[in-house]
A and B are shown apart, each in its own frame.
Chain A
Amino acid sequence: MNNRPITEDDLHAYVDDVLEPERRAEVGSYLAGHPDVAKRVAGFADQRELLRATLAPIADEPLPPELNLSRIIEGQRRRSPPAWWAIAAMLLLSVGGFGGWIVRGSMEAAPGGLAALAQEAAYSYNVYAPDRLRPVEVRASDTAQLVQWISSRLNRPVKVPDLASSGYRLMGGRLVATQHGPAAMFMYDDDHGSRVVVLTRPMSSGDQNAPMTAQSNDGATGFTWADSGIGYSLVGKAPAETLRPVANEVRRQARAI
């Protein structure tokens, strides 16, 4: 009935019980007619059982604390590995191309400038920060992906600010649409679940460099500024005196690059 010769591989697959039922039957009847081979195969099967029985208790031992996966995950989240989501700031930019005209004026008079960015940041905060299900599109655990994605959409290398020293942990981020093109939004929370967002995008018009200004939009407090053509806005519900040092930290990191 069967013409396929039995191979060594078949014998091992027989021992490991990974043969198709039909082939298994063929090997079985071959072994029935070859007691010497059958003895060898039985020996392999015995040693397989011996190994499994000998080593099984190791897998039953309680896990030591250092192998607690939740703690390892938490540990990495807190540590903010310096390699890529780096020490520092957000946009490493090779300026150029965004020269354009510079408007220096009050925020009200420059709808494309700082005021617009502050407004966009407040919108993003109001929409995403209260979201319990999916506040961010890409989580902090996937920061490398987030950075790659945001960088490619903003056409420049982006780095995520590390606010751990201010007590805020990165939750993740997303791309948001603004009237002035794509912007990167990063969200953070502190130990009490209080959230802040940082919105950043190139200043396509107006306010290429602007000092930090405070504003209150739709019940949220924000600090907004621009450095070398890149605008930043940090928004949260915490008191202004709490948020200002955090904004200063973001600015410090961005300038430190």
Chain B
Amino acid sequence: MQDMLVQVEPLIPALRRYARALVRNRANADDLVQDCLERAVSRWHQRRDGSVRAWLFTILHNLAADQFRQASSRGRHVPIEEAGEGELRGAAAQEHRLMYHDVLDKLARLPEEQRAVLLLVAVEDLSYAEAAKVLNVPIGTVMSRLSRARERLQQELDGVAGAPGNVVTMRRLT
């Protein structure tokens, strides 16, 4: 019980970050993390040896993937925009907020499988082998998805770099 607290609790912020980057909406993302933690607690004794971090991300990723699958099969619109982002104030925060939405918009244009790899590797610092475990694919697939994700995101970013002011325009369009 105590070791679960010690090992899981410090990872909750990273789980939130991953969930938020995947599904964007804060409430949905936190619901996913909560489900993930409930499962982690009830299955703590079933986990195999190995990284607790990779184990938790696996649970979370599968929950998110289920949600994506359900959403697309129902043709339901998943709300993308954040509602309660009102805490951010001031010019710097305002700027970060624009950047945040801009980057997440671009990230959202990547296929879900590429986005997941990129986030796990580049943001959450999972090793390639851990990412392969989380996504249940061979490591070669992780590498090719990572490569495609980076190329694709680079195109998105370069597209904006050539046209200043585009950031805001694109936000309005979405």
In the assembled complex, the CB of B38 is this many whole angstroms from the nearest CB of chain A, namely 6
Q: How far is the CA of A76 from the CA of B41 in the complex (A)?
A: 8
In the assembled complex, the CB of A9 is this many whole angstroms from the nearest CB of chain B, namely 5
Would you call B172 an interface residue if the criterion is a C-beta within 8 Å of the partner chain's C-beta atoms? no
Q: How far is the CA of A17 from the CA of B16 in the complex (A)?
A: 24
Would you call B20 an interface residue if the criterion is a C-beta within 8 Å of the partner chain's C-beta atoms? yes
Q: How far is the CA of A144 from the CA of B41 in the complex (A)?
A: 13
Chain A residue numbers with a CB within 8 Å of B42 are 76, 81
Knowing A12-B143, A54-B99, A142-B45, the reply to whether A66 touches B34 (Cβ < 8 A) is yes
Knowing A67-B34, A73-B5, A144-B45, the reply to whether A51 touches B122 (Cβ < 8 A) is yes
- B12 A67 Cβ-Cβ under 8 A: yes
Would you call B134 an interface residue if the criterion is a C-beta within 8 Å of the partner chain's C-beta atoms? no
Segment of A23-31, A57-65, A91-99 engaged in the interface with chain B: A57-65
Chain A residue numbers with a CB within 8 Å of B21 are 55, 58
Q: Interface 1/0s, chain A 6-28, versus B by CB < 8 A?
A: 00110011011010000000000
- A12 B146 Cβ-Cβ under 8 A: yes
Residues of B in contact, count (CB < 8 Å): 43
Segment of A42-50, A101-109, A193-201 engaged in the interface with chain B: A42-50
Q: How far is the CA of A142 from the CA of B43 in the complex (A)?
A: 9
In chain B, positions 125-174 with a C-beta closer than 8 Å to chain A are: 127-128, 143, 146-147, 150, 153-154, 157-158
- B122 A145 Cβ-Cβ under 8 A: no
Chain A residue numbers with a CB within 8 Å of B147 are 8, 12
Would you call A141 an interface residue if the criterion is a C-beta within 8 Å of the partner chain's C-beta atoms? yes
Chain B residue numbers with a CB within 8 Å of A73 are 1, 4-5, 41
Would you call A69 an interface residue if the criterion is a C-beta within 8 Å of the partner chain's C-beta atoms? yes
Secondary structure at the A interface, as helix, strand, loop or mixed, is helix
- A47 B123 Cβ-Cβ under 8 A: no
Residue in B12, B14, B150 whose beta carbon sits within 8 Å of that of A69 in the complex: B12
In the assembled complex, the CB of B36 is this many whole angstroms from the nearest CB of chain A, namely 10
Knowing A12-B146, A73-B4, the reply to whether A67 touches B16 (Cβ < 8 A) is yes
- A54 B45 Cβ-Cβ under 8 A: no
Would you call B49 an interface residue if the criterion is a C-beta within 8 Å of the partner chain's C-beta atoms? no
- B16 A61 Cβ-Cβ under 8 A: yes
- B34 A9 Cβ-Cβ under 8 A: no
Residues of A in contact, count (CB < 8 Å): 38
Chain B residue numbers with a CB within 8 Å of A48 are 122
Q: Interface 1/0s, chain B 8-51, versus A by CB < 8 A?
A: 11001110110011000000001001100110011011100000
Q: How far is the CA of A144 from the CA of B154 in the complex (A)?
A: 49
Residue in B5, B17, B150 whose beta carbon sits within 8 Å of that of A12 in the complex: B150
Would you call B103 an interface residue if the criterion is a C-beta within 8 Å of the partner chain's C-beta atoms? yes
Chain A residue numbers with a CB within 8 Å of B107 are 51
Q: Interface 1/0s, chain A 131-150, versus B by CB < 8 A?
A: 00000000101101100000
Chain B residue numbers with a CB within 8 Å of A13 are 128
Of all chain A residues, the one with the shortest Cβ separation from B104 is A54
Chain B residue numbers with a CB within 8 Å of A64 are 30
Q: How far is the CA of A29 from the CA of B50 in the complex (A)?
A: 35
- A47 B5 Cβ-Cβ under 8 A: no
Would you call A70 an interface residue if the criterion is a C-beta within 8 Å of the partner chain's C-beta atoms? yes
Q: Which 3 A-B pairs have the closest CB atoms?
A: A59-B13, A58-B17, A142-B45
Q: List 6 A-B contacts (CB under 8 A).
A: A47-B122, A47-B157, A50-B103, A63-B16, A67-B37, A72-B41
Known: A69-B4, A72-B37, A144-B45. 14 other contacts (CB 8 A): A8-B143, A12-B143, A12-B150, A13-B128, A56-B17, A58-B16, A58-B17, A58-B20, A61-B13, A66-B30, A67-B16, A69-B12, A76-B42, A141-B44
Show the binding face of B for A, using Cβ within 8 Å.
1, 4-5, 8-9, 12-14, 16-17, 20-21, 30, 33-34, 37-38, 41-42, 44-46, 96, 99-100, 103-104, 107, 118-119, 121-123, 127-128, 143, 146-147, 150, 153-154, 157-158
